[in-house]
């Protein structure tokens, strides 16, 4: 009998069993979400000065407290039960607790799925403040190929606010729209019948739904991939290089990040970024510090205020994600908790969260490899825990 490799001993399966057909499901996702560049071609988002991580802060007192008021599970138990991989919490810029699942290397980059949308929106905001991007410009004016699609008369702001009238089904397990979309982004195996599209061709094939742009909030990921293409056309610069120059290097990120690309090199700005959880924590801290880090004004206070305050509660309540946040809003690819909270967050499927509470100075990062793309029974206890930790940490 062949001797088990170290990989098999740690992960419980052999490397050759992980394929494009199964890499987003357990048990494989526990490894693949931290090694995406080995699964899907990826471009590098370079850090200026890669650095070792600070010493880990365990804080057993915080991790052993009830996850939220009335919860039967502790913080650590909820993290484990929700298939979390890494958890970090900082208060006023200092990490106060860190938790990682067994066999997770804390220095690994992790796929953050739709938190990528929020990062892409930050790049759009920086370009807007530089006078290079007018958010009221129709997409068809910036990407001529899109003039045959639903995006022809949708504005850049419609992309940012998920208010595009688009005939597309955001059902993550769909064998139709979403499977075709994932083949275009190179996340699924080729169809085997030939004729699979690349990302831009796919996006430009999408048609308008009934009704005008700018009305309902409909969370549709292709909008953010189109935004990435818009940013490349406006600047003449590839998105990975743009993100490195405008965000990752000024932030002082500890390590390079990565973004998946399709067969033509188009970036998966809707969900393809991988980075260290510690660098995601630094990004959240930058936002609650008024957009500044390491002496650099990265994102303007004007843009942050716009993101925090200009989401429409009525549009949210009528939209496709109203169950996610009861009193929420959505603006510039960021969620606002709403109600009496000033907290805002970025979120991705399979359990990715960046939660920022400026009132308490708290930033929380949670990366996961949940088997299901989205489960309210997991998301809601985690959101309750984040809110509780902001008031009690």
Calpha distance 190→182 (Å, rounded): 9
φ/ψ bin of 16: left (φ > 0), alpha (ψ from -120 to 50), beta (otherwise): alpha
Give the per-residue pLDDT at 171.
85
pLDDT along the chain (393 residues), means of 10: 85 96 97 98 97 95 96 97 98 98 97 98 98 98 98 98 96 80 96 88 97 95 98 98 98 98 98 98 98 97 97 95 95 97 98 98 98 92 97 76
The answer to whether 220 and 178 are in contact (CB under 8 A) is: no
Q: Tell me which residue has tokens 């990921």.
A: 221
Sign of the Cα torsion 18, 19, 23, 27 reads negative
pLDDT given for residue 393 in this prediction: 62
What's the token pair of residue 72? 């039967």
Q: What is the DSSP letter of 36?
A: G
What CATH number does the domain located at 41-115+237-392 have? 3.40.710.10
pLDDT of residue 194: 76
DSSP string, 273-302: EEE-HHHHHHHHHHHHTTTEETTEE-S-HH
CA 30 to CA 101: how far, in whole Å? 10
> DSSP label at 174?
-
CA nearest neighbour of 126 among 296, 253, 342: 296
Sign (positive or negative) of CA dihedral 203, 206, 209, 213: positive
Q: What is the DSSP letter of 155?
A: B
Q: Where are the domains of the chain?
A: 41-115+237-392
């Amino acid at each position: 009998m062949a001797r088990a490799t170290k990989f098999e001993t740690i992960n419980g399966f052999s490397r050759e069993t992980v394929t494009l057909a199964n890499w987003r499901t357990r048990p494989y996702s526990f490894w693949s979400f931290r090694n995406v560049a080995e699964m899907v071609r990826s471009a590098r988002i370079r850090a200026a000065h890669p650095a070792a991580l600070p010493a880990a802060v365990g804080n057993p007192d915080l991790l052993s407290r009830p996850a939220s008021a009335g919860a039967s599970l502790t913080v650590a138990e909820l993290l484990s039960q929700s298939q979390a991989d890494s958890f970090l919490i900082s208060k006023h810029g200092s990490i106060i607790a860190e938790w990682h699942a067994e066999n997770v290397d804390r220095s690994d980059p992790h796929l953050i799925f739709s938190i990528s949308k929020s990062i892409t929106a930050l790049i759009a905001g920086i370009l807007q403040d530089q006078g290079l991007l007018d958010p009221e410009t129709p997409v068809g004016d910036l990407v001529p190929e899109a003039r045959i699609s639903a995006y022809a008369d949708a504005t850049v702001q419609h992309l940012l606010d998920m208010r595009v009238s688009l005939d597309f089904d955001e059902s993550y397990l769909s064998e139709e729209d979403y499977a075709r979309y994932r083949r275009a982004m190179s996340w699924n195996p080729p169809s085997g019948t030939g004729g699979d599209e690349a990302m831009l061709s796919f996006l430009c094939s999408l048609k308008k739904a009934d009704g005008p742009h700018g009305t309902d909030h409909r969370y549709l990921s292709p909008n953010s991939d189109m935004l990435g293409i818009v940013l490349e056309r406006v600047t003449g610069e590839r998105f990975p290089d743009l993100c490195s120059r405008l965000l990752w290097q000024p932030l002082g990120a500890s390590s390079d990040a990565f973004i998946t690309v399709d067969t033509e090199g188009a970036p998966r700005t809707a969900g393809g970024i991988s980075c260290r959880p510690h660098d995601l924590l630094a990004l959240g801290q930058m936002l609650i510090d008024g957009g500044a880090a390491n002496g650099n004004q990265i994102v303007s206070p004007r843009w942050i205020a716009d993101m925090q305050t200009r989401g429409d509660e009525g549009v949210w309540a009528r939209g496709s994600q109203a169950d996610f946040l009861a009193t929420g809003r959505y603006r510039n690819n960021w969620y606002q908790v709403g109600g009496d909270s000033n907290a805002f967050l970025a979120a991705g499927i399979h359990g990715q969260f960046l939660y920022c509470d400026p009132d308490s100075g708290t930033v929380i990062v949670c990366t996961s490899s949940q088997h299901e793309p989205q489960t309210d029974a997991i998301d809601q206890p985690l959101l309750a825990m984040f809110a509780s930790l902001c008031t009690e940490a």
